Amino acid sequence: MPEPNDELERLFDGMLADKTEGSNVHDFPLRRAVAALGKAVLRLDRSSSELSYANIRLTRTYTWLTVIILLVGIAQIILMVRGR
């Protein structure tokens, strides 16, 4: 399934590749700047999505490690109390 932003990226690529010049093209530099900014926003969106997935995986891992450390700590406290 194609990404929802693929169409926008193709549109921005087309604008950046267009080298049209002349007296009738008043907004050409502005169109190129908007296309470059649009591509940057799409890349930022993609990388932030990947980082959020990585963060979720790390959170799950840290949750399990915290539970294990707490269980080991409780076991050590119980063994210390029973050893007296």
Is residue 68, in this structure, part of any structural domain at all?
no
Selected residue with higher pLDDT from 3 and 35:
35
46-56 mean pLDDT? 87
40-61 mean pLDDT? 87
Is residue 79, in this structure, part of any structural domain at all?
no
Lowest-confidence segment of 8-12, 23-27, 41-45 by average pLDDT: 23-27
Question: What is the rounded average pLDDT for all residues in the chain?
Answer: 82
64's enclosing H/E stretch is helix 28-83
Q: Rounded to whole angstroms, how far apart are CA atoms 19 and 10?
A: 16
Residue 5 DSSP symbol: T
Collapse the DSSP code of 49 into the 3-class scheme (helix H, G, I; strand E, B; otherwise coil) and give the result.
Answer: helix
Please give the residue range of the domain that contains residue 35: 6-59
Q: What is the predicted pLDDT for the residue at 34? A: 83
Q: What is the predicted pLDDT for the residue at 22? A: 60
Is residue 55, in this structure, part of any structural domain at all?
yes
User: pTM for this structure?
Assistant: 0.54
Is residue 46, in this structure, part of any structural domain at all?
yes
- Paired tokens of 69: 């450390």
Per the structure, the count of domains in the chain is 1
User: Alpha-carbon torsion 26, 28, 33, 39, what sign?
Assistant: positive
